[in-house]
Amino acid sequence: MAVPSARRGAGRPKRRVLSRRLILETGLRLMDAHGVDRAGMRAIADELGVRPSSLYNHVAGTADLIAGVRELISDRIDTGVFAAAPWDAALEAWARSYRSAFAAHPPTIALLAVTPLAERSDTTRMYDAVVAGLVRAGWPPERVLTVIVALESFILGSALDYEAADDMFEPGPRADVPAFTAAYRARERALAASGTRPADAAFELGLRALVSGLRAEHAALTRG
């Protein structure tokens, strides 16, 4: 997957043109393949066949790398819907898009959940669109980030669950958990009939319940 240099002369060996984008995408690829501990600046340099020092013209260090990887992922989260749909429908569409973006990169979830937003992060602009949509709909400004973080916890937990095997709860032949076994078999039959994955069923049920509860909260707040 060598990237040919636009500037190389005829007959010279191919060289990658280093760019911030290439470095971040390589970092994300290494995180997905080997975990976040094996995707640092040195590992990226090895992967690209360059000296670590040459990366620092484009990425300032580990914190900047993580901030950049967050933007690669959060750029794929759609917030346009907040301009077009009612807040509750927009929140659901945003949640689906957000879960898909992170479900594609499970090793980043726990890392990004606890890493502060960088100072000039584009991700903050993503949040700005969501906040503005909720405030326009009447949510009190002091409550909006709490709503967003609550939904985000559900989304990130669901993105982790997306990776779990469909039969991760398979009880096998044991006889000491009869209620659990009956529920497991009943779910298995119901989901097989509709062709739904357990993780998708749980995400959709939880999202519906959460947004329905938020709708009740919103009604109580805007009525008062």
Q: Which of residues 30-69 bind its own copies (CB under 8 A)?
A: 35, 37
Stretch binding its own copies (CB under 8 A), from 50-58, 60-68, 72-80, 175-183: 175-183
If DSSP codes are grouped into helix, strand and coil, which group holds residue 82? Answer: helix
Q: How far is the CB of 212 from its own copies (least distance, A)?
A: 4
Residue of 2, 3, 63, 183 that binds its own copies (CB under 8 A): 183
What does the radius of gyration of the chain's CA atoms come to, in whole angstroms?
22
141 binds its own copies (CB under 8 A): yes
Among the residues of the chain, which ranges form H helices?
Answer: 20-34, 41-48, 52-55, 62-74, 87-103, 107-114, 122-136, 141-162, 178-194, 198-223
Minimum CB distance to its own copies smaller for 47 or for 188: 188
131 binds its own copies (CB under 8 A): yes
Q: How far is CA 63 from CA 41, 118, 152, 206, in A?
A: 10, 8, 22, 33
Minimum CB distance to its own copies smaller for 10 or for 149: 149
182 binds its own copies (CB under 8 A): yes
Q: How far is the CB of 24 from its own copies (least distance, A)?
A: 21
Residue of 49, 176, 223, 224 that binds its own copies (CB under 8 A): 176
For residue 158 the two structure tokens come to 């669901």
114 binds its own copies (CB under 8 A): yes
For residue 57 the two structure tokens come to 């013209």
171 binds its own copies (CB under 8 A): yes
203 binds its own copies (CB under 8 A): yes
Binding to its own copies (CB under 8 A): which residues in 82-111?
106-107, 109-110
Among 79, 89, 94, 98, CA closest to 137:
89
Q: Residue 85: left if φ>0, alpha if ψ -120 to 50, beta else—which one? A: beta
